[in-house]
A = this chain, B = another copy of it.
Amino acid sequence: MLRFLTAGESHGPCLTVIIEGIPAGMPFDAEAINERLRRRQGGYGRGGRMKIERDQIEVLSGVRYGHTMGGPITLRIENRDWVNWQERMSAAPDAGENSEPVTRVRPGHADLTGALKYARDDVREVIERASSRETAARVAVGGVCQQLLAQYGIAIHSHTLMVGGVGYAAGAEPDPAAADDAFWARVAASEMYCADEALTQTMIARILEGKRNGDTCGGVFEVVATGVPIGLGSYSQLDRRLSARIGQALLSIPSAKGVEIGGGFGLAALPGSQVHDVSRYDATPEGRGWYHLTNHAGGIEGGISNGEPIVARVAVKPIPSLAHPLPAADVRSGENVDVTRYERSDVCVVPAAGVVGQRDG
């Protein structure tokens, strides 16, 4: 029903997204989407570029007088750094004559795979699209979707569980079912998007330690959707399962290497008697109807939402752009390249400002 395409290079004039299938008459709040973009750019340990850019959407179609009209919505996010890249990223046929190609392929990036798949010997033509800057466009899409979901009382939040090995102790993770507005306010106030202030400071210390070594961190974040009605997704056909769709969305984040629904890998080691969530029916007049005593399933049973909060966790690998770079190779000659330092020195992933956001690269 709902489709979208994102487009744009990291140093091109802009990112663009077209979203198709949003109903007409939905209140549209551009500022709320800009707030999500700001959150994506926030967090501790931002590199230089994150300060240059202050992403904002420009609404180019689909919205009039503050509400949707039923047609496709076009959002544009200008790249403020474009002025410095107009020549190197020009679309004009004759602009590339004096261009110096990038031929070095770096570990942990799409450099090698993209150069070989698309037969590009100027790796810039790979890294510009493979860059996680693309996720700014996704955050904008996610912002529109959140406004649609809000009409049905569904809210989506995310917070950081671990960075570089520093995180909540086993068994001491916050209970998603108990996360209230105050909890999410603490998350929003934290430089690490972590509700625990002390843990936030330890995470920052961990990042600084990595930075001193010229190294980088990964982490784990959790996404929680509340207010989800019973009945989304289906076991009828495998690609309709809600778990499969969430898995696809979250593993499409460029640096994601793992996804868990509910108890995830932990459930695999427990006996069945401790895993499955007993359901009960509340028949009182103001009752909530069907509910579960626990939520190990993360809100999905049989590929269908069961009314409990949907809980998913994502593992993000460390940023591949190290200050003390890893050995690289030359895509044209195949020879090793002597690398002393990358241009940029971002040191940390701060995950998930929005549904699937990620920092620029």
Please, how many angstroms separate the alpha-carbon atoms of A109 and B71 in the complex? Answer: 16
Q: Say yes or no: A271 contacts B230, CB within 8 Å.
A: no
Whether A202 is near chain B, meaning CB under 8 Å from some CB there, is: no
Give the nearest-CB partner of A333 in chain B. B281
Which residues from B are CB-within-8-Å of A109?
A: 301-302
Please, how many angstroms separate the alpha-carbon atoms of A323 and B137 in the complex? Answer: 44
Known: A129-B70, A264-B257, A329-B280. A90 touches B65 (CB 8 A): yes
Q: Say yes or no: B305 contacts A113, CB within 8 Å.
A: yes
Number of interface residues of A (CB under 8 A): 150
Please, how many angstroms separate the alpha-carbon atoms of A275 and B258 in the complex? Answer: 14
Q: Say yes or no: B272 contacts A322, CB within 8 Å.
A: yes
Whether A154 is near chain B, meaning CB under 8 Å from some CB there, is: no
Q: Say yes or no: B290 contacts A116, CB within 8 Å.
A: yes
Count copies of this chain in the complex: 4
Within 8 A of B (CB), among A309-336: 315-320, 322, 324, 326-327, 329, 334-336
Which residues from B are CB-within-8-Å of A262?
A: 257
> A6 → chain B, closest Cβ, in Å?
7
11 contacts between A and B (CB under 8 A): A20-B236, A108-B272, A138-B238, A164-B269, A218-B268, A244-B249, A268-B318, A270-B318, A272-B317, A272-B319, A281-B335
Residues of A within 8 A of B (CB): 1, 3-9, 12-18, 20-21, 23-25, 27-28, 30, 59-67, 69-74, 89-96, 99, 105, 107-114, 116-120, 124-126, 128-130, 134, 138, 162, 164-165, 210, 213-220, 230-231, 234-239, 241, 243-252, 254, 256-265, 267-273, 275-281, 283, 290, 297-298, 301-306, 315-320, 322, 324, 326-327, 329, 334-336, 356
